[in-house]
Amino acid sequence: MVFKAGGNIKSITFKEVPQILYLTKGSQPFVGDINGDYYDDIIFNNMDAKGPGGKLNVAIFNPETKKYDIGNFRDKMVDPSCGGLASPLAAAELTTPHSVSMVDFDGDCLSDLFLTV
C-alpha cells in the first residue's frame, strides 16, 4: 500500500506484519505505544491463557525481529526491581467496558499506563 501526501512527504510504504493474536471475543483490545518506543503495542485478553497472570496479555512490537513479543501482561510490563508493583488481582483481564489511559502520575514527564480491569 502506498500513501501519497503533499508537502515534503512523497510517499509512505506500509509493510504488513502477519502475526496471529488470540483475542477473547468482545474484549476490546487497546492499541497504543505503551512502552515509549514509538511502535504500537496491544493489550488484550487471551481466551486460552492460564496461570497466575490471568488472561491479560500484551503484544510488544520488536523492531529488530519485526514481530510482536507476546506474553502475560504482568511478566512483560511490571518490573518489581524498578518499583513496579505486581497486580493484586489473581486473574487479571480487561473488563467490558474498561478504561485505559496514558497519564504522567509521578511527574517524570513520561506517560504512565493507567489500566482499569
* Per-residue model confidence as pLDDT tens digits over 55-73: 788 899 898 988 889 888 8
CB under 8 Å to 20, separation ≥6 — which residues?
none
pLDDT of residue 18: 74
Would you state the pLDDT for residue 117?
64
Output the pTM of the full model. 0.67
Distance (Å, whole) CA 21 – CA 4: 30
Taking the alpha carbons of 96, 33, 3, 64 in that order, is the dihedral positive or negative? negative
Residues of the chain with pLDDT under 70: 1-12, 14, 17, 48-54, 78-92, 117
